[in-house]
Copies of this chain bind each other. A is one copy, B any other.
Amino acid sequence: MLSNSVIVEDMETSAPRTARERARAELTQEIKTTAKRHLGEQGASSLSLRAVARELGMASSAVYRYFPSRDMLLTALIVDAYDSLGAAAEIADAAERRGDLSGRWMSVCKRVREWAIENPHEYALIFGSPVPGYIAPPDTSDPATRTSVVFLGILAGVETVRVADSSGGSTSPELGADLDRIVALGDESITRPMMMEGLAAWMQVFGMISFELFGHLNTVISDYEVHYRQQCASLAVRLALTDSAADLC
């Protein structure tokens, strides 16, 4: 997975030999950076090529030398966002001792929220409402999985026997197959009940971040950070990453 991302970055940033190539790489980046800023002021669906060009002091038609259409620019932003979040999660995970599962979990959770707060518009771009009429091309799905692979890696270290089966034994065959398929992604042996808990935790994490960023808790919670940390610590216990949440807060 890591090697995969390196390849992507290679194509974008490395080996700009001639001045022309260097200039092109730089302007491509500048256009994306400006467009990212505009996302916040206008929202994804009304991102304007002309406005971006105007801010960069160039003719609107010049942007077409870099992106063949507005939708392609949007796609580039989405891919970048997934990649940026994925890289942040990978780094946070790698900073902890491999055996310290709860430490890795807390570190990744913390970093994901930080990333969202630092890049609210990009977070909204990938986790908010889909841009209507826009259909993500297949090349977006690969960087999208980076973050969840990190998460699966942490789960894989758990003695999954310790997670009880709370399904009541009535899992549908279809859902069972789904769970097995996710497990196979990580190439590890995770039990189905464990996978259900993992999915639940994952969705709760993004639910919490979305609620915070989209303002659904504005009049409810004031100390978002402490709340988030405690909830993540509870999740660590539930996922059997540790015995006690006390030392995580």
Instruction: Known pairs A130-B215, A168-B249; list 12 more (Cβ under 8 Å).
Output: A43-B133, A44-B129, A124-B129, A127-B214, A129-B129, A167-B233, A168-B245, A169-B246, A175-B223, A182-B220, A200-B204, A206-B210
Docked CA distance A219–B226 (Å): 34
Residues of B within 8 A of A249 (CB): 167-168, 170
Question: A40 in the interface, Cβ–Cβ < 8 Å?
Answer: yes
Docked CA distance A182–B223 (Å): 14
Interface residue from B130, B170, B230 paired with A196 (Cβ < 8 Å): B230
List the number of copies, as a whole number.
Answer: 2
Task: Please tell me if the beta carbons of B174 and A223 are within 8 angstroms of each other in the complex.
Answer: yes
Task: Please tell me if the beta carbons of B45 and A168 are within 8 angstroms of each other in the complex.
Answer: no
Interface residue from B41, B172, B178 paired with A132 (Cβ < 8 Å): B41
Docked CA distance A208–B207 (Å): 8
Question: A234 in the interface, Cβ–Cβ < 8 Å?
Answer: yes
Residues of B within 8 A of A223 (CB): 172, 174-175, 178
Closest residue of chain B to A237 (Cβ to Cβ) is: B166
Measured as residues with beta carbon below 8 angstroms from the partner, the interface class of chain A is: 35 or more
Residues of B within 8 A of A227 (CB): 175, 178, 196, 199
Residues of B within 8 A of A127 (CB): 210, 214, 216
Task: Please tell me if the beta carbons of A234 and B200 are within 8 angstroms of each other in the complex.
Answer: yes
Question: A221 in the interface, Cβ–Cβ < 8 Å?
Answer: yes
Would you give the shortest CB distance from A71 to chain B, in whole angstroms? 14
Interface of chain A: mostly helix, strand, loop or mixed: helix
Question: A13 in the interface, Cβ–Cβ < 8 Å?
Answer: no
Task: Please tell me if the beta carbons of B222 and A174 are within 8 angstroms of each other in the complex.
Answer: yes
Question: A211 in the interface, Cβ–Cβ < 8 Å?
Answer: yes
Would you give the shortest CB distance from A163 to chain B, in whole angstroms? 11
Q: List the 9 shortest-distance A-B pairs measured between CB atoms, nearest first.
A: A207-B207, A128-B129, A168-B246, A124-B129, A203-B207, A204-B204, A174-B223, A43-B132, A172-B226
Question: A131 in the interface, Cβ–Cβ < 8 Å?
Answer: yes
Question: A244 in the interface, Cβ–Cβ < 8 Å?
Answer: yes
Question: A60 in the interface, Cβ–Cβ < 8 Å?
Answer: no
Docked CA distance A215–B144 (Å): 12
Question: A84 in the interface, Cβ–Cβ < 8 Å?
Answer: no
